[in-house]
Amino acid sequence: MVRNLNHDTFLVIRYVKRRLTVMVDIDGKHEWRDCIDVPGVRLPRGYYFGTSSVTGDLSDNHDIISLKLYQLTVERTPEEEKRDREVYLPVVDNLKLPGMEAPLEPMSGLALFLIVFFSLVAIVFAIVIGVIVYNKWQEQSRKHFY
């Protein structure tokens, strides 16, 4: 939605008090639209901010004209300060990612028994059919009319 436009596009990424907000201006009207707003984001301190335009096999130009970075001073309680220092990996509270469903419940004894039983019946049935087909093939191969 930002390709081949005749005007500049803008993006604002704001992280304040464990809330990550991303807003975009892609219409060229200098009006911000919400893109995402995620509460409960905990980011570790001491990392760097970087940009990349890796597109794989596509040959697109991604020109980043400027970056403006600000460090906001936010009043924090000593408890918040201590809690924010203890973050070592980026974490989002109460966020379910696609493919990260709850683990499945273990199978009951009856279900496991039925699966094993019907699997064995199917294997025995396949072996019997295989032996019958093999014997028929042997009989056909022995009959030669000269």
In a domain, 16, yes or no: yes
Number of structural domains in the chain? 2
In a domain, 99, yes or no: no
Q: How confident is the model at residue 101 (pLDDT cuts 50, 70, 90)?
A: low
8-state DSSP, 45: S
Task: Kindly state whether residues 126 and 71 are assigned to the same domain.
Answer: no
Q: How confident is the model at residue 68 (pLDDT cuts 50, 70, 90)?
A: confident
In a domain, 3, yes or no: no
pTM (predicted TM-score): 0.53
CA distance 129 to 38: 60
Task: Kindly state whether residues 125 and 81 are assigned to the same domain.
Answer: no
Task: Kindly state whether residues 18 and 53 are assigned to the same domain.
Answer: yes
Task: Kindly state whether residues 17 and 77 are assigned to the same domain.
Answer: yes
Is the Cα torsion angle 57, 61, 66, 70 positive or negative in sign?
negative
In a domain, 97, yes or no: no
Task: Kindly state whether residues 128 and 81 are assigned to the same domain.
Answer: no
Task: Kindly state whether residues 44 and 111 are assigned to the same domain.
Answer: no
Tens digits of residue pLDDT in 22-42: 999 888 888 899 988 888 888
pLDDT of residue 61: 66
CA distance 6 to 14: 26
Residue span of the structural domain in which 119 resides = 106-145
Residue 13 pLDDT > 80, yes or no? yes
Residue 114 pLDDT > 90, yes or no? yes
pLDDT of residue 30: 84
